[in-house]
Structure 1
Amino acid sequence: MSRLADLAREGIPADVDAAHDAAERARFVEAVSRGAAQRRGGALGWVADLSRVDAWLRFLGLSPAHAGRARWGLALAGAAALAVALVALWPARRLDYAVEGAPGAAGGYVAAAAEEARLRFTDGTTVALAPGSALRVAEVDAAGARMLLEDGRASLRVTPRPKARWSVEAGPFAVLVTGTAFDVSWTRGDGTLRVDLHEGSVTVRGPLAPEGLPLRAGQRLVARMREGDVQISSVDAAGAVGSAAGPAERAPSSAGAAPPGGERNTGPGDVDGDAGAARPEGSRAEGAPAGPPPGGSTAAPDGAAAAPSWAKRVAAGDFRSVLAEAEQRGLGGVLERGSLDDLVALADAARYARRGDVAQRALTATRKRFPGTSHGKAAAFLLGRMVDDGGSPGAAVAWYDAYLAESPGGPFAAEALGRKMVAVERTAGRAAARPVAELYLKRHPRGAHAPVARDLVEP
């Protein structure tokens, strides 16, 4: 900036033409104001104030009394360059919003009583909050907003913009969007999330989908925390909630499945689980038919399109075709020779379709064949949760400990510690669970298990 001032001063002689000076200053003010309005919607409109222009000229050491006609153009160029630099560096304007139909409380909290409440953002994005629902606007910046849906239903129409960034958090889930129209509801009492996508695309992340599940227009996602279940169906399926293969084909819940190995409780030291665990490379599971090597898709005949990978089918909600293909090839062979991506997709498909037996075997194989990977570590938590939900909290604690030791900052860390706390209380009592509760509150003071932890800590 000082260099610009030096260049401008060097080009200004001492002779003065007052009339021309006034005309040139007026032209300069008009040009800079017009350019600033185009670049930032008037963010530099204050430059149009003649007194402020004089202040800038004084900063450059160029009062009108010392600006000569012959070199005034050079001074204008220097000042214009300075204005352009300021426009380029000027921070983007933070979005604002107004609340209609409900009073806006401190901290961005909005509660719709008997009538719908509506939030209107300055970029055109709208959020309609159903009666009886509560939402808090946690953060707002130039790119978008982060909102917390505490309970109830919200309908969003997000205006598409470059680099837009919006999210709606509901319980342990987050819906990430850039520009779209969707409805999201969260029932805090039973831990159920529902997302109906009408336009665009979103990604839903949470404990049941740590890698994120993308949704396309016309799809519905329902996640049930208590059952450990996520299902994707069509919004137009007359309110049906199920997998893409059909809601009538619901498999038994893994919550009721026995721990790996039948009556035997398994833990991290017993990674084989049952007879379906990984075998030496090259062997084939007994009774498994010979077939194409495990993988996300088979070789297609000439001219035919290859089948989508298992991971893509899981992302699209087609869980049952993954399971059917794995069983057709021979489940044992898939577990022994399948890629990491295929094992992860198979485990996810089995969990979402409530095939606990297959999910346990796929997770066990993932840990045994790919130790140290993020998926191998996550499998410890998922196995612990399945054993826990299956009625063996004592065995689950060992899995939770394994996960927390291997991935203390992982995506399941808060839930693993919270579930461990509950499991310890169930098996060893409140006194034994209190240290775990204190650790949970220290690490996750606003986590989903914080109320339970505080109850254990308080005398």
Structure 2
Amino acid sequence: MSRLADLAREGIPADVDAAHDAAERARFVEAVSRGAALRRGGAWARIEAWLRSLGVWPALAERPRWGLALAGAAALAVALVVLWPARRLDYAVEGAPVAAGGYISAAAGDEARLRFTDGTTVALSPGSALRVAEVEATGARMLLEHGRASLRVTPRPKARWSVEAGPFAVLVTGTAFDVSWTRGDGTLRVDLHEGSVTVRGPLAPDGLPLRAGQRLVARMHEGDVQISSADAASAAAPAQGGPSSAQAAQPGGEEKTIGPGDVAPDDAGAARPEGSRAEGAPAGPSPDGSGAAADGAAAAPSWAKRVAAGDFRSVLAEAEQRGLGGVLERGSLDDLVALADAARYARRGDVAQRALTATRKRFPGTSHGKAAAFLLGRMVDDGGSPSAAVAWYDAYLAESPGGPFAAEALGRKMVAVERTGGRAAARPLAELYLKRHPRGAHAPVASDLMKP
């Protein structure tokens, strides 16, 4: 095209007959009018801008015959660029053979690596298996059969990549992340290092976005999804503390399973760390419930932000320093929710149950107050008290029948009833579950219960 512009500069004659010039102008205007659809699409404007950048547009506008010819050539070039199909990506595999259907299995002691022509790489951990289901110009769709894969996807416009693991899909355009899938217990884990991804599946039908530094763990059998800081999640795994999540600490060392009709114990007689303040001490929560210290110290990140960053222990330490009783009685709704989450993630079941119970008592009509019933049910259920869990699930379903945990509450209730009353007792719940949530996480269990 640059050569064509040079020819136009050299070939336009210095003198043109006026009548002929007028006729060619008329032809040019007519041609442009017929190309209105092209102009509306913006292609003509791009052609004119390109010709102006070459410095030939003024001369072409004065010499319509040459202008029309050159504009036609430019339009043809633009059409070829726009309509010519993009080249399909290709890939090569190192360290493992590729079986029929794009199936790749890494040996027990060796890593396999896929290299795509756009620069994207996939490292398959030893003993893992993956299948490349589709490859297009914009990306690829891969199925992680089992094990772990580390991806570095090259960012490109309109890139579309996905990794499917069991019923989950990780959607990405350009980023670096690790994904692992364990078929035996139905657990998906995604560690995001750069960029952003969205995880979709039965437990997250609308998709859960992740940002760099976060970890998602989804457990199909438990119907549970958790998002936390990857570093903090690793540090919190061996954390010790408190009774089991099904029990709340009581004065005198006794333990009791809390039900929907019970109120969390107050702080009287509870053990307090050395140097911590009693209720009503000056360092307690501010009257507005914001959780800011009253001594005028610089404001630290809110508890909710710290929990989102995976800093669970600092939230628990600050709550205990201020006095748990004061926080539970006067803390804001946001602080109670953050405290409950921090305690659950750090395996402090006693604190989590007290915070959730306080949330229900003080903020009963809120979505968090209703959700606390489900969370309490799940805690006592996991702690080995299915009968108490059923009462909590019933409370949640009665208060929030269309809530975000409705499917999981009904499914867990069904399983708990089967454990306590047998298959016949759970069958009506299985029928109801399949009617309301035919594709839910507990649908396989419900279908099995419907069998004679």
| Residue 123 to residue 419, structure 1, CA distance change in 2 (3 Å) | farther
| Residue 21 to residue 391, structure 1, CA distance change in 2 (3 Å) | farther
> 2:278 touches 2:323 (CA, 8 Å); kept in 1?
yes
> 2:202 touches 2:440 (CA, 8 Å); kept in 1?
no
| Residue 345 to residue 142, structure 1, CA distance change in 2 (3 Å) | farther
Range with bigger deviation, 371-380 or 173-182: 173-182
Secondary structure, counterpart of 1:247 in structure 2: coil
What are the superposed Cα offsets for residues 167-193 of structure 1, whole Å, 9 maximum, x if unpaired? 656568776655433333233334555
> 1:16 touches 1:67 (CA, 8 Å); kept in 2?
no
> 1:101 touches 1:118 (CA, 8 Å); kept in 2?
yes
Report how far residue 388 of structure 1 moved: 1.0
1:405-444 to structure 2, matched below 5 A, reads 405-407=398-400, 410-444=403-437
Counterparts of 2:31 and 2:90, CA distance in 1: 29
> 1:297 touches 1:308 (CA, 8 Å); kept in 2?
no
> 1:179 touches 1:200 (CA, 8 Å); kept in 2?
yes
Counterparts of 1:73 and 1:384, CA distance in 2: 77
What are the superposed Cα offsets for residues 118-159 of structure 1, whole Å, 9 maximum, x if unpaired? 455554322223343344678888876676645311111122
Report how far residue 386 of structure 1 moved: 0.8
Counterparts of 1:42 and 1:121, CA distance in 2: 34
| Residue 123 to residue 304, structure 1, CA distance change in 2 (3 Å) | farther
Identity of aligned residues (%): 91
Matched, 1:323 2:311: no
| Residue 200 to residue 218, structure 1, CA distance change in 2 (3 Å) | same
> 1:384 touches 1:398 (CA, 8 Å); kept in 2?
yes
> 2:221 touches 2:441 (CA, 8 Å); kept in 1?
no
Question: 1:201 — aligned with what?
Answer: 196
Counterparts of 1:362 and 1:296, CA distance in 2: 14
> 2:277 touches 2:321 (CA, 8 Å); kept in 1?
no
Secondary structure, counterpart of 2:151 in structure 1: strand
> 2:242 touches 2:349 (CA, 8 Å); kept in 1?
no
Range with bigger deviation, 166-175 or 435-444: 166-175
> 2:286 touches 2:293 (CA, 8 Å); kept in 1?
no
Range with bigger deviation, 220-229 or 247-256: 220-229
> 1:393 touches 1:423 (CA, 8 Å); kept in 2?
yes
What are the superposed Cα offsets for residues 20-67 of structure 1, whole Å, 9 maximum, x if unpaired? 999999999999999999999999xx9xxxx99999999999999999
| Residue 231 to residue 72, structure 1, CA distance change in 2 (3 Å) | closer
Name the count of aligned residue pairs.
Answer: 448
Secondary structure, counterpart of 1:328 in structure 2: helix
| Residue 456 to residue 301, structure 1, CA distance change in 2 (3 Å) | closer
> 1:229 touches 1:354 (CA, 8 Å); kept in 2?
no
Unaligned runs of 5+ in 2: none
Question: 1:19 — aligned with what?
Answer: 19
Range with bigger deviation, 445-454 or 360-369: 445-454
Range with bigger deviation, 256-265 or 444-453: 256-265
Range with bigger deviation, 153-162 or 410-419: 410-419
> 2:285 touches 2:330 (CA, 8 Å); kept in 1?
no
Counterparts of 1:6 and 1:371, CA distance in 2: 78
| Residue 194 to residue 69, structure 1, CA distance change in 2 (3 Å) | closer
> 1:147 touches 1:167 (CA, 8 Å); kept in 2?
yes
Matched, 1:395 2:385: no
| Residue 23 to residue 212, structure 1, CA distance change in 2 (3 Å) | same
Secondary structure, counterpart of 2:279 in structure 1: coil
What are the superposed Cα offsets for residues 317-338 of structure 1, whole Å, 9 maximum, x if unpaired? 2101101111222223322332
> 2:245 touches 2:349 (CA, 8 Å); kept in 1?
yes
| Residue 250 to residue 259, structure 1, CA distance change in 2 (3 Å) | closer
| Residue 237 to residue 259, structure 1, CA distance change in 2 (3 Å) | closer
What are the superposed Cα offsets for residues 184-230 of structure 1, whole Å, 9 maximum, x if unpaired? 32333345555555555668899999999998877877777889999
Aligned partner of 2:138 among 143, 161, 169:
143
Matched, 1:173 2:182: no
Report how far residue 369 of structure 1 moved: 3.6
> 2:231 touches 2:310 (CA, 8 Å); kept in 1?
no
Counterparts of 2:307 and 2:291, CA distance in 1: 16
Report how far residue 306 of structure 1 moved: 3.1
Greater gyration radius: 2
> 2:303 touches 2:338 (CA, 8 Å); kept in 1?
yes
Report how far residue 105 of structure 1 moved: 8.3
| Residue 358 to residue 251, structure 1, CA distance change in 2 (3 Å) | closer
Counterparts of 1:296 and 1:384, CA distance in 2: 27
What are the superposed Cα offsets for residues 273-332 of structure 1, whole Å, 9 maximum, x if unpaired? 999999999999967776232789766899986311112211222101101111222223
Aligned partner of 1:270 among 241, 248, 262:
262
Unaligned runs of 5+ in 1: none
TM-score under structure 1 length normalisation: 0.62
Counterparts of 2:66 and 2:355, CA distance in 1: 77
| Residue 386 to residue 235, structure 1, CA distance change in 2 (3 Å) | closer
Report how far residue 232 of structure 1 moved: 9.5
Secondary structure, counterpart of 2:435 in structure 1: helix
Aligned partner of 2:158 among 163, 175, 180:
163
Report how far residue 360 of structure 1 moved: 1.5
Report how far residue 429 of structure 1 moved: 1.2
| Residue 9 to residue 210, structure 1, CA distance change in 2 (3 Å) | same
Counterparts of 2:288 and 2:168, CA distance in 1: 30
Counterparts of 1:350 and 1:410, CA distance in 2: 23
> 2:315 touches 2:342 (CA, 8 Å); kept in 1?
yes
Report how far residue 93 of structure 1 moved: 8.7
> 1:277 touches 1:364 (CA, 8 Å); kept in 2?
no
RMSD, matched Cα: 9.5
